[in-house]
Amino acid sequence: MDLALLLRLGGQAERARQIDEVALQGLDRRLTREHHFSLTCAINLASDLSELAEQADARDLGQNTLNELRRLLGPDHPLTLAAAANLVVDLMAMGLVEEGEDLRDDTLARYIRVLGPDHPDVRVMQEGRRLDFDFDPPVL
């Protein structure tokens, strides 16, 4: 996932997508989609898709990931909020302005309540940019 993120940020979104797809398949096999590692990878894959102008696929994966995060971690968890923030970007890019604004307003209010108005993730969301995630699993 880290390599894919660096590739996407370096302009190689198609290669990033390929890597994230393989990583997500492996995580799903070993951990299932009900694990936050898999869901983190799914967030990054949705960003790859968005970068490749595959907005509908990015939105669908983003919405499914957000739904699962809400169920697994709750609506106010920072990872859930990040998934919602990225989904806002996709909704707006698709011209789904009302839906995007509703999600943006709800997510921003939650973000500020949970992390405070000066948190870097809150600022990224306020600027309408995507949040990206590196992957550093805990030491065993």
The tens digit of pLDDT for each residue in 71-117 reads 999 999 999 999 999 999 999 999 999 999 999 999 999 999 999 99
- Cβ atoms 93, 50 nearer than 8 A: yes
Domain boundary assignment for the chain: 2-126
Q: What is the pLDDT of residue 140?
A: 53
Superfamily of domain 2-126: Tetratricopeptide repeat domain (1.25.40.10)
Q: What is the pLDDT of residue 135?
A: 74
Model pTM score: 0.92
| Cα 6 to chain centroid, rounded | 15
What average pLDDT is seen over the chain? 94
- Cβ atoms 28, 4 nearer than 8 A: no
Q: Give burial (CB, 10 Å; 0-12/13-18/19+) of 109.
A: exposed
